[in-house]
Amino acid sequence: MLFTAVTLGFFAENIREGIAEKHKKQELLAAVVHDFKTDKSEIERHRVMVKRRLANCENFQRLLEMDESQINKIDFYRTAIWHAENKDLILNEKARNDAEAKGYFTNEEISELSVILNKFNYYYNDYKELNLGCLESCKRYYANIIPELLDSKLVLKADFIWQENSTTTDKDFQGRLSKTIDKSVKNKILFDIWSRKTLLILELNNFDTLNAYADKAIAILTSEKLRH
């Protein structure tokens, strides 16, 4: 009887551990789904920002092709400064990495998920390379171009420019642009605009791809066969 009791206790413990492990797995996979949904919201937020940067590039090009005496000062300064704006898209990877490390993506139930995640990670890494290119471009622009465009006294008191649609009564920001922009500087900026637009368009394409793979992953992780 003692042997039977020990054996039954052993089996009961294994069953409890199996149930606990299954529960932990379900919790972790639910966290992965939650993170994918959060990532999709973050991707959409950055899509709006990238489209705004593209629109700023178009406006900057238009201003550079105009006669300086016809350019509104605030519009020019705001466009010139916003050209160097850049933020990185940071996605949630911890739950996915934990689940992958535990082998949850390689079992027969969801074996196709491993391929999807590899694709998702590939395009996320590709995005990070593109954004790094944008960031490096912004650094060069700040260091080499901004000093050619803006007087130092204007830069030091132009915090309001970062706020869209904000205005000021400061006389230094009123009227038309009086400073002539050197043609060589214009050409450098136009080249930078072309380069930046190329990178930003590629980022938008990556957002579409990341969204598509996130949707596929969510569909698999929330399928009927994984609810039991």
pLDDT, one tens digit per residue, over 167-212 is 888 888 888 988 888 999 999 999 999 999 999 999 999 999 999 9
pTM for the structure as a whole: 0.84
DSSP state of 161: G
Question: Cα dist. 21→28, 34, 99, 102, 223 in Å?
Answer: 10, 20, 12, 11, 20
Q: What is the mean pLDDT of the segment spanning 134-141?
A: 94
In sequence order, the 6+-apart residues with CB closer than 8 A to the CB of 130 are 199, 202, 203, 206
In sequence order, the 6+-apart residues with CB closer than 8 A to the CB of 119 are 209, 213
